[in-house]
Chains A and B, each alone.
Chain A
Amino acid sequence: MKETHGVACPDFWRSRALSRREVLSVGVLGGVGLGLPALLAQEAAARAHAGARPRATAKSVILLYQWGGPSHLESFDMKPDGPEDSRGEFRPMASNVDGIQVCEHLPRMAKVMDRVSLVRSFTHKFRNHNPPGYYGLTGHAPPSDDQRLRDTPDLFPHYGAVVDHLAPAPKEIPTFVSMPAVIHDGSAVPGQHGSFLGKRHDPLLILQDPNSSDFRLPELSLPGGVTATRLQDRRALLSDLDREAGLMERLGAARGLDVHHQRAFAMLSSPKLREAFDLSREPEGTRDGYGRTMFGQCTLLARRLVEAGVRLVTVYYCRPSGGFIWDTHKDNFPELKSTLLPTTDRTLPTLLLDLEQRGLLNDTLVIWTGEFGRTPKINKDAGRDHWPECYTALFAGGGMKRGFVYGASDSAGAYPTENPVRPDNLAGTLYRAVGLDPATHVYDLQKRPIAIGGDPIHELFA
């Protein structure tokens, strides 16, 4: 970003509450003119100074983002005894944890509830999709409930961008991957990229359907007619050209460009990463196990990426275009029963069991959440509308408790009755799990220091 050390509100960073680390990260933002290597060095220094970080309970995060707002009342917060006009058609079923019931259309899920924590008391006030969509991806409340909330650079970056800023993966592996679309409602939901931390913290965005037979990642695939050998030839030609011109020795800006070129070449020639993206290496049985859906295969890919060392993968459960899928204003029950719940029930338990079998569950935090829940009252179209006042998120692995429920809602599932929490706390929990103090400051465009997250939900940690 084109910014220098601003002086706005500088007493924040002059106060003793701030560590050397954070002062250094101001320098990171002040990166105009600094060549990129200098910038990277500063970021490295910032990380080196990151003194007392909480012990990480997770190496990686898989965020399964349920775009459109899944009904908490037809998934993990059933209200069989709720008021007549809101009870719904589905019955609860017992799970393998005493006292935790799930929807009858989540039978496989019912058998893995001993591996998860539910938080049934998420609440906020934003009723249109985009603002809470942003809220859930960043942990920062949107400035307004504008249905077409504009994606401006003063809004907060995605969790993955913050992790890439403060605790990135090694060079040949991207820190932050998102798929399979950019979610939107009329306009793109803010909070899916690096925002004021800079484009260099944007996710590696996979906009292809891993469920399609010709899935290939453009970034990691060579254009038609360019073989690996030809790429090597080109790379050699390029390095000759650059050497001859001699700019790299003399100009920081040239070295800055080269950092990214070298990283891209490393990824293009990293078997580890290419293999991670090659779903054909998975046994057919495993691919079937995750479900032959876009969401299922994305989730499988997420597991492969986490295995390869990617730190944060966001899988949006959405339409292929990025439109919402859970927005059941009409025909809530048939929609859920025919598609949404079966897809979830195919993919989510499979992921948890697969991670567990591979010994990855302890190191991988899985979060399943949408931007809000749905109205307790069933509307005239047999649908449910937007309901931010109360909804459920699911956490598993990565140091979370197992078979645990935090928070509760009232008899209609309308409002939290205990331990209300907000997306700020989801952010805090995520950051805490990956070993970042949620109170760590980053600086926005106005140079205001902003804590990356709210308080973690401490009770979730095992």
Chain B
Amino acid sequence: MTVRWVGILLGVAATTSSPGHASPTLPSRTSPPERPVSFLYDVMPTLSRAGCNQGSCHGNSEGRGGLKLSLRGDIPEADYLLFTRAGGGRRVDRSEPGRSLILLKGAALLAHGGGARFSTGSPEFRVIARWIAEGARFDPAVAPQLVRIEATPREQVVMAPVTRAQIRATALFSDGSRRDVTHLAFYNPGDPRVEVTPGGLVQARPGLDTAVLVRYAGEMASVRLTFVEKRTGYAWRPVPAANWVDDLQYARLRELRLLPSPLTTDVEFVRRAYLDTLGLLPTPDEARAFQTDPRPDRRARLIDALLERPEFDENWTLKWSDLLRLEERTLDPRGNLAYRDWIRVGFASRKPMDQFARELLTATGSTYLNPPANYYRRTRDPIELGETTAQIFLGSRLLCAKCHNHPTERWKQDDYYAIAALFARVDRKLDDRGRRDRFDKHERNGEEEISVAATGRVEHPRTGQAVAPRLPFALEPLAADTPDPRVRFAEWLTAPDNPFFARAMVNRIWQALFTRGLVDPVDDLRDSNPASNPKLLDALARDFARAGFDLRHTVRLLMNSRTYQLSAEPNGTNRDDERFFSRALPQRLPAETLLDAITQITEATDRAGRQPAHVRAALLPAVNKYRHPFLKLFGQPARESVCACERNDDTTLGQAFALISGDLLAGRLAQPDNRVGRLMRAGRSDTEIVQDFYLSAVAREPSSGERERALSYLAGKPDRRAALEDLLWALLNSKEFLLRR
């Protein structure tokens, strides 16, 4: 989009306006405006659209060229003063509007770092000029206020060959009047490949799915547009639905003209199911047992069995240890272990997730004796607690609202601090056992007592005033004598009808099973970042709440769906689909799983590694103490950030070297008493060993071609042991091994 839209813009007259309301739209060719220009509803939106107050220009926190406006016009009152009072009165010259800097700079008639934002004679120029000529007044207090805006269509699937959609924006005022502000609103598509004209005409290539955020005078609305390829000859082929998850998914896929991939094979399924539930590969025996099970419901039985395994609890403990940032330096080794065990016992005892959240958020007492109290040890600052809590439990990233109203969400700066204020009274008393590193202010050793003090203060950075704690989106702050605001927050959060909690949780569960969330990134739920299937997300959230926030309930439901059991193989319609779950999304094994798989397959541990040899990587309590280079290389997070993105699933050159020539794998392959040695000593034939290798690494028997090639490779090498190592090396480097698919 270019901002030089002079000439593209065709004026549109106001649809309606009430007599008392000063609300002309942009000057139109057909109906010249007659009413006075409004600062709030004409001038400010015009400046926003011209980009004047965006973050890269005068909206920057440091301003630009000596003029600092509120970001995107968040604070029009302040901007008004800047225009009319500050700057020596040259910005707005009421006596000679044409000499106002706001016009001269905006149209680059005077040197302007931002170039020409509009031309002389353009509707923008004229509306600002007229406002100045009319006295450059702020809107009278009695004028109707903007209540909200509406944008249509709310949701639309656009089918090729059509590749455009027109957005209409309507402003609703306090006197009941409505006004078409399509040509005054500002449009932000979520996907940068989508183009939106200043007139709200959206254009995109088929295959793109985006929200477009529509902003006008501080209010916003969002529109969901999905551009679909025509796929001539597309016809939905009935596919069996295993449960209602599939019904909702199929409806969405039909709408998008996608066909689901076929069902996975049993071979793929057993490996996927083990990896997703336990973070482990099936052993050869387990793989064989499943693949030879003749019972038609063997998949459902396997799922049930896996959910009972202790490794399921451990796998979810790892996920939550990342999320809650369990780290020995801040929690101290004892607290860290206690916290970890508390999480694990929670999963093992099937603690409902709402209770889990409540226990964390309302914890008091000793970090040793009541481990969830570590939630308040790990994060200490109320501001950071507000942010972290929102990201974990609401799935909302509030950081933007720290400095300005969130650009794309309803979170206002005031909300940010009101949420922080909920945690202002958390008090801590450390039985300080000193630091091993006296300069590391993050290091804390000793038991810490968490309590709620009588007072505590969070200041609003703009006003310097104490902010009263308030529940998100509540109109009134909590009463000053509320015993513990965190309890009120936890009650609000885990109420069955809370719009955030259940959705945030099921989205995380979905991600654990489907590689990415229905909303992605998994902790960024907002109107302008919609779920790939909103109805499904809502239904799953309701179901989760109804089922008592039971993790296993939802995991079982999802894994039994055909949607989960789809193959990763693309068909003619879904080769490019990485968003709508019409096929499985393959992913590199995560760090701990990969290392544990290598351990399991080679039957060797590295003596050099600093972790206790017998402990599975997934169970290491201290991610930084035993800094394992292999785990770090493959993306194990340092647990510094609450962002799920800290677990890095990049594939890198260093990883390729580690697998091809790295010490760890080479050492384990060479160990005399490893799997290779064991099988040789047991007198296994080449055929048996090849079979065992395949089953252990990729959970299947080799094909006859594979078997023959492997056998002929072994036969052709004088050193049998070395040749077997080569074969196992190749399997451990194969895409089939490295991917969960």
Contacts and interface: CB of A to CB of B under 8 A. Distances in A.
Interface stretch (B36-44, B128-136, B701-709): B701-709
A20 B54 CA distance: 19
A297 B666 CA distance: 28
B243 interface: no
A444 B437 CA distance: 31
Interface residues of B, number: 94
Contact of A14 (B114, B188, B661): B188
Given A241-B736, A264-B656, A198 B190 contact: no
Interface string A409-424: 0000000000000000
Interface in A147-177: 147-148, 150-154, 174
Given A11-B186, A16-B3, A254 B739 contact: yes
Contacts, number: 251
Contacts of A448: 55
A254 B735 contact: yes
Contacts of B4: 16
Interface string B8-30: 00000000000000000000000
Interface in B40-90: 51, 54-57, 72
A151 B638 contact: yes
Given A15-B54, A244-B706, A8 B663 contact: no
Interface stretch (A26-34, A94-102, A116-124, A341-349): A26-34
B643 A7 contact: no
Contacts of B730: 234, 237-238, 240-241
Contact of A32 (B516, B703, B734): B516
Contacts of A151: 638, 640
Interface in A1-54: 1-17, 23, 26-27, 32-34, 36
Interface hub of B578, B650, B654, B670 (most chain A Cβ within 10 A): B650
Contacts of A33: 515-516, 520, 578-579, 585
A36 B651 contact: yes
Interface string B577-609: 011000001111000000000000000000000
B193 A261 contact: no
Interface string A209-222: 00000000011111
B656 A27 contact: no
Interface in A253-303: 253-254, 256-261, 263-265, 268
A258 B739 CA distance: 12
Interface string B630-662: 000001001011011111111111111101111
B51 A7 contact: no
A446 to B, nearest CB: 6
Interface string B134-152: 0000000000000000000
A225 interface: yes
Nearest to B705: A244
B69 to A, nearest CB: 13
A150 B407 contact: no
Contact of B650 (A14, A128, A198): A198
B437 A9 contact: no
Interface stretch (A199-207, A379-387, A429-437): A199-207
B658 to A, nearest CB: 9
Contacts of A200: 650-653
B221 to A, nearest CB: 14
A236 to B, nearest CB: 9
Contacts of B441: 146-148
Nearest to B196: A14
A319 B523 CA distance: 41
Question: What is the predominant secondary structure among interface residues of chain B facing chain A?
Answer: loop
B377 to A, nearest CB: 16
Contact of B399 (A10, A226, A260, A446): A446
B646 A15 contact: no
A230 B653 contact: no
Contacts of B653: 174, 200, 204, 260, 263-264
B661 A2 contact: no
Contact of B734 (A2, A204, A238): A238
Given A5-B190, A241-B731, A446-B400, A260 B652 contact: yes
A11 B722 contact: no
Contacts of B570: 250
Given A12-B56, A186-B440, A204 B654 contact: yes
B667 to A, nearest CB: 8
A325 to B, nearest CB: 18
B225 interface: no
A153 B641 CA distance: 8
A202 B51 contact: no
B696 interface: no
A242 B739 CA distance: 12
A258 B735 CA distance: 8
B286 to A, nearest CB: 21
B608 to A, nearest CB: 12
A191 interface: no
A85 B99 CA distance: 59
Interface string B726-741: 1101110111101101
A370 interface: no
Contacts of B666: 223-224, 226
Q: Which bucket holds chain A's interface residue count?
A: 35 or more
Contact of B660 (A152, A186, A264): A264
Nearest to A33: B578
A314 to B, nearest CB: 16
Interface string A311-337: 000000000000000000000000000
Contacts of B440: 147-148, 186-187
B408 interface: yes
B51 A15 contact: yes
A27 B193 contact: yes
Contacts of B709: 240, 244
Interface string B430-457: 0000000101111000000000000000
B303 to A, nearest CB: 24
B4 to A, nearest CB: 7
A259 to B, nearest CB: 8
B633 to A, nearest CB: 8
Contact of B51 (A11, A152, A230, A263): A11
Given A11-B72, A251-B586, A3 B661 contact: no
B736 A260 contact: no
Nearest to A264: B656
A231 B722 CA distance: 12
Contacts of A397: none
B524 A6 contact: yes
Contact of A219 (B586, B644, B661): B661
A11 B407 contact: yes
14 contacts: A3-B645, A5-B191, A10-B407, A16-B2, A32-B520, A147-B439, A150-B442, A151-B640, A186-B437, A219-B654, A233-B726, A237-B726, A247-B586, A251-B735
- Which 9 residue pairs of A and B lie closest in terms of their CB atoms, listed nearest first? A223-B666, A33-B578, A264-B656, A260-B656, A237-B730, A254-B735, A253-B586, A199-B650, A2-B645
Given A7-B407, A33-B516, 7 more contacts: A3-B521, A11-B407, A36-B651, A150-B640, A204-B654, A238-B729, A264-B656
Interface of B: 1-4, 51, 54-57, 72, 114-115, 186, 188-193, 211, 213, 397, 399-400, 407-408, 437, 439-442, 515-516, 520-521, 524, 526, 528-529, 568-570, 578-579, 585-588, 635, 638, 640-641, 643-657, 659-663, 666-667, 670, 698, 703, 705-706, 709, 713, 722, 726-727, 729-731, 733-736, 738-739, 741
